């Protein structure tokens, strides 16, 4: 069954099972594969990950090599902030955020793979942190009250979620008035070959679940976020030895010479100050009625 034929719940179950397995894989393997899914590459060591080693608050034990950016570096976290990390894994970005927000602040990590939650809690206990917590839950229905977070971060997670507009509406709901997010994610420009787009491991590997960049940015705009900025963008190149699992030599060459691009982007946006929950509800109804913002012929609708 291809990804496009699977239901949202089936896709989420695929990701949950894969990431429970990935939680026990070494960082080196995950970094040299597509987000820990499928086979690793002998050609490239870091396919998607950025180097955290110089980031203050970084703890190697909490880094599973599953990110595609450094969102906490761009998140403008202040002392005393409440920060939420979506798809917190073993706690890597939470611990970096905790360094920024300090003892007066609070960090909440959410993840729907229970082995990840267990690993993150053990890491927090080992480090002696008492103002960080990890909650089990789906980021399409966050286990967090309204208007809680000053800042929300996420690192290479939203591409794994079937209903991306719902996640952004949850981000809007849980942010305080005037709060903001900084999210690193994988997006596309152009269409992936069918063999990549329809493969379950490529979905769990943060590639097949990615949507068009224009569509992704449109979802953020449609919900009423302000000051939308791409803080960083880099090209993601899948090594030939991984592509060879899905494509022939001619197809690999055609893909590499074509117009399709895979990118990691780090996006900043802010919830308007004084924005009411009633306005958000009306905006969600409008988005559901009209569909996402797409240009004709962009292929995102």
291 located within any domain: no
In whole angstroms, give the CA distance from residue 118 to residue 157: 18
Residue 288 has a pLDDT of: 47
> Dihedral angle at the C-alpha atoms of 35, 161, 171, 130, nearest 10 degrees?
-50
Residue 282 has a pLDDT of: 54
Contact call for residues 154 and 87 (beta carbons, < 8 A): yes
pLDDT for 6 beyond 80:
no
pLDDT for 208 beyond 70:
yes
* CA neighbor of 58 nearest in space, from 103, 100, 118: 100
Q: Which domain holds residue 108?
A: 3-286
295 located within any domain: no
Residue 38 has a pLDDT of: 84
pLDDT for 11 beyond 90:
no
User: What's the number of domains the chain is made of?
Assistant: 1
Task: Read off the pLDDT of each residue in 191-206 and give the average, rounded to a whole number.
Answer: 93
pLDDT for 171 beyond 90:
yes
CB hemisphere CA count around 90 (13 angstroms): 23
In whole angstroms, give the CA distance from residue 298 to residue 301: 8
In whole angstroms, give the CA distance from residue 36 to residue 204: 8
300 located within any domain: no
pLDDT in tens, 48-85: 999 998 999 999 999 999 999 999 999 999 999 999 99
**Confidence class for position 275, pLDDT limits 50, 70, 90:** low
pLDDT in tens, 216-229: 999 999 999 999 99
Q: How many helices (H) and strands (E) does the chain have?
A: 12, 7
pTM of the model: 0.89
127 located within any domain: yes
* CA neighbor of 71 nearest in space, from 47, 49, 90, 39: 49
120 located within any domain: yes
Residue 81: CATH number of its domain: 3.40.50.150
Lowest mean pLDDT among 19-33, 109-123, 133-147: 19-33
pLDDT in tens, 44-57: 889 999 999 899 99
In whole angstroms, give the CA distance from residue 132 to residue 153: 14
Residue 298 has a pLDDT of: 41
97 located within any domain: yes
**Confidence class for position 295, pLDDT limits 50, 70, 90:** very low
pLDDT for 8 beyond 90:
no
In whole angstroms, give the CA distance from residue 63 to residue 93: 8
pLDDT in tens, 126-165: 999 999 999 999 999 999 999 999 999 999 999 999 999 9
Contact call for residues 95 and 67 (beta carbons, < 8 A): no
Residue 242 has a pLDDT of: 95
Distance of CA 285 to the CA centre of its chain: 25
């Amino acid at each position: 069954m291809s990804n496009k034929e699977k239901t949202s719940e089936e896709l989420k179950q695929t990701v949950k099972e894969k990431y429970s397995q990935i939680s026990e894989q070494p960082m080196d393997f995950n970094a040299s594969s597509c987000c820990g899914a499928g086979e690793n590459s002998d050609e490239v060591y870091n396919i998607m990950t950025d180097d955290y080693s110089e980031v203050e608050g970084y703890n190697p034990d909490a880094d599973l090599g599953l990110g595609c950016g450094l969102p906490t570096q761009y998140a403008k976290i202040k002392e005393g902030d409440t920060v939420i990390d979506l798809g917190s894994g073993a706690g890597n970005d939470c611990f970096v955020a905790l360094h920024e927000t300090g003892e007066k602040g609070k960090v909440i990590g959410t993840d729907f793979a229970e082995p990840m939650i267990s690993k993150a809690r053990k890491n927090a206990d080992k480090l002696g942190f008492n103002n960080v917590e990890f909650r089990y839950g789906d980021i399409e229905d966050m286990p967090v009250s309204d208007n809680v977070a000053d800042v929300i971060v996420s690192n290479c997670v939203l591409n794994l979620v079937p209903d991306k507009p719902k996640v952004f509406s949850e981000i809007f709901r849980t942010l305080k008035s005037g709060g903001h997010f900084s999210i690193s994610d994988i997006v596309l420009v152009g269409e992936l070959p069918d063999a990549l787009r329809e493969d379950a491991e490529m979905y769990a590997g943060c590639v097949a679940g990615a949507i068009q960049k224009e569509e992704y940015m449109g979802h953020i705009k449609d919900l009423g976020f302000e000051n939308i900025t791409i803080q960083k963008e880099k090209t993601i190149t899948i090594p030939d030895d991984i592509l060879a699992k899905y494509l022939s030599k001619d197809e690999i060459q055609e893909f590499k010479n074509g117009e399709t691009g895979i990118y990691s982007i780090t996006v900043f946006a802010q919830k308007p100050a004084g924005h009411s929950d009633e306005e958000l509800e009306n905006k969600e109804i409008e988005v559901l009625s009209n569909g996402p913002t797409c240009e004709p012929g962009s292929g995102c609708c």
